[in-house]
Amino acid sequence: MILTCPSCGARYNVRADAIPAAGRKVRCKACAHEWLALPEVWELPEALPAGSAEPAREPEPAPAPAPAAAPEAPARRWPWLLVLALLLLGGGGALGWAVGEGRIDPARIPGWQWLISREIPGVRLPAPPPTALTLSATVTNRQVPGGGNVWEVTGRVVNDTRTVRPVPPIEVILYGRGNRELYRWQVAPPRPTLGPGMAVRFDTATVNTPDEASHVRVTLRPAALGRG
């Protein structure tokens, strides 16, 4: 606190706790004047009139949680379904074309019959085109002196299309009980190509085949084109 001499106006800086509440007699060093110094009195602010105090604010409610992200609309998934459908259509069309062109033997495609008999919702697989070449055959089996078996196969290959088609090798397969394969052989095509509407005959025979052979399958081997 600051003490001011009432006689000469000299000012002194003293600790607030050096002046007791009842006051204390002090002397000015400048003029030797003595007086009773009293502690400083802090004035309290006037009391607010009743009812003027601001009411306590109620706590603000916690912010509502952000709404959960809505599930992705099904419409956003349709591009992926479209891509899948196009792949199926393209693959099915290419496979059907290869079968129809005689480049793939459908009998050797795993699940081919299952595939073409399935119905996929929303996807329509194209039907395979007509077979490019038609094969018909007659098979005979006879015994020869000495107990041997002779299997003879005669037939014809027809080009039912309007374009020139390559003629693939012809394959003959012998089966026994339980459709178990016993023996097979291939026949070179009688000619390399067939024009539109043309046909070519073929014949083949084999001896010393398994005695338990009971039936034969004759088919074209388009996968073997260009070999040999």
Residue type (1 letter), 27: R
Classify residue 207: in a domain, yes or no: yes
Classify residue 150: in a domain, yes or no: yes
Classify residue 154: in a domain, yes or no: yes
The CA distances from residue 8 to 38, 39, 174, in Å, are 18, 20, 143
The whole-number average pLDDT for the span 33-50 is 65
Classify residue 119: in a domain, yes or no: yes
Classify residue 140: in a domain, yes or no: yes
User: What is the number of structural domains in the chain?
Assistant: 3
116 and 138 part of one domain? no
Q: DSSP string of 204-228?
A: EEEES--TT--EEEEEE-GGGTT--
125 and 188 part of one domain? no
120 and 192 part of one domain? no
107 and 166 part of one domain? no
114 and 196 part of one domain? no
Judged against a pLDDT cut of 70, whether residue 35 lies above it is answered with yes
Q: What is the pLDDT of residues 48-103, one digit of tens each?
A: 555 555 566 666 776 666 666 655 555 556 555 665 666 666 665 666 656 555 55
140 and 210 part of one domain? yes
H-helix segments, 13-111: 78-100
138 and 125 part of one domain? no
C-beta separation of 103 from 222 below 8 A: yes
Q: What is the pLDDT of residues 99-124, one digit of tens each?
A: 555 555 554 555 554 454 444 455 45
Classify residue 158: in a domain, yes or no: yes
Classify residue 85: in a domain, yes or no: no
194 and 153 part of one domain? yes
121 and 151 part of one domain? no
Q: End-to-end alpha-carbon separation of the chain, Å?
A: 121
157 and 176 part of one domain? yes
pLDDT-derived band of residue 208, with 50, 70 and 90 as boundaries? Answer: confident
pLDDT of residue 226: 59
Q: Bigger pLDDT: 165 or 65?
A: 165
Range of the domain at 177: 133-224
pLDDT of residue 167: 93
Give Rg (Cα) of the chain: 56
- Domain stops at, among 75, 100, 129: 129
58 φψ region: left (φ > 0), alpha (ψ -120 to 50), beta (else): beta
109 and 165 part of one domain? no
143 and 189 part of one domain? yes
Classify residue 172: in a domain, yes or no: yes
The CA distances from residue 24 to 13, 28, 167, in Å, are 15, 13, 135
